[in-house]
Amino acid sequence: MNKDIIGIDFGTTNSKMAYMLLDEPVVIENDQGSKITLSVVYFKNEKEFSIGEQAKHNQIIHPDKVVSSIKREMGTDYKKQVGRFKFPPEYIGALIFQKLIQDARERTGKTFYDAVVSVPANYSDSQRQAIMDAAEIAGINVVRLINEPTAAALAYGIREDRDRKVLVYDFGGGTFDVSILSVSSGFFDVDASTGEHRLGGDDLDTRIIAYITKALQKELG
């Protein structure tokens, strides 16, 4: 029985993966040697697609064939039309999961069948189910869905040894979330969680680009 479990952070903009190596969590790099993989899919046609950096290279030239921020559409009726086919968000998410698993296999030499996937604390049941379905399509068994703030708290070394309240501030590429966790009797409970789902580092980038463009236009005409 293979006991290796991969941890997947399926993000709006970037996705990451890690596994336990001799009781220590280790982040797995992708085929490009980068610790983050862009959550972008480019459909060259109905059968061919690429994921990550290569997909992003096509975002401007073929905006209709590139899907980004698919996490926002999880659990909705969104469909991506490519040729004759309409792909649901679960399928597009599955392609990203497949790519992550494949890269992890190449890097570590291990085949991961089981995974722990992190999801936003305020994700609804249907959204959580959509993530599970995406993983299942990719051939991964999700042993547990973990709330993102809980995962962040654990990563920062907050253990269940004493009762306390923790505020987790997560400013990601596409979303901004703030959660209050209470650690009691060895459990993490999400007391409150709120956030802005259309605000992230990417939006800051866009604003900075717009500001510089405006300033240049004003100066150079």
Partner 1 sequence: MVDPDITDLQKKAEHFESQYNAIKKEFKDFIETTRKNEELKKKDLQSDQAKKLLVIADSLCRMMNSAINPTCDAVRTVHENYHLNIEGMYQQVLSSGKLTPIDPQPGAIFDDTLHMAVGLEYNSKYPEDTIFSVVRRGYLRESQLIRPAEVIISKKPREPLPLQKPGMVTSIFNRIFPNRQKFDAITHDIDQLAHKESEHITRLEKEIAELEKKIEQNEEEIHDLSQIITEQADIQGQLEDDMQKLKDDLRTLTTHVREFERCISIRLHNNSLNLVEQMPRYQDPYQPGE
* Residue 57 binds partner 1, judged by CB under 8 A: yes
Tokens 């305020």 identify what position? 122
* Residue 129 binds partner 1, judged by CB under 8 A: no
Nearest-approach distance from CB 165 to partner 1, in angstroms: 39
* Residue 105 binds partner 1, judged by CB under 8 A: no
Q: CA dihedral in degrees (29, 33, 35, 37; nearest 10)?
A: -100
Beta bridge partners of 87: 80
The one segment of 106-114, 116-124, 143-151, 179-187 that binds partner 1 by CB under 8 A: 106-114
Nearer to partner 1, 110 or 128 (CB): 110
Residues 175 and 146 sit within 8 Å (Cβ to Cβ): no
In the region spanning residues 28 to 47, those forming contacts with partner 1, defined by CB under 8 A, are: 29, 32-33, 42
Size, binding site for partner 1 by CB under 8 A = 19
The residues, any chain, with a CB within 8 Å of residue 161's CB and separated by 6 or more, are none
Torsion sign over Cα 80, 90, 30, 37: positive
* Residue 107 binds partner 1, judged by CB under 8 A: yes
Torsion sign over Cα 132, 110, 4, 16: negative
What does the DSSP assignment read for 43-90?
ESSSS-EEETHHHHTTTTT-TTTEEE-GGGGTTS---EEETTEEE-HH
Task: Name the residues annotated as catalytic.
Answer: 9, 71, 148, 170
Nearer to partner 1, 29 or 148 (CB): 29
Question: Among residues 59, 122, 129, 182, which is the contact residue for partner 1, using CB under 8 A?
Answer: 59
Beta bridge partners of 199: none
Nearer to partner 1, 21 or 212 (CB): 21
Question: Among residues 22, 64, 162, 220, which is the contact residue for partner 1, using CB under 8 A?
Answer: 22
- Binding stretches for partner 1 (CB under 8 A): 21-22, 29, 32-33, 42, 50, 53-54, 56-61, 107-110
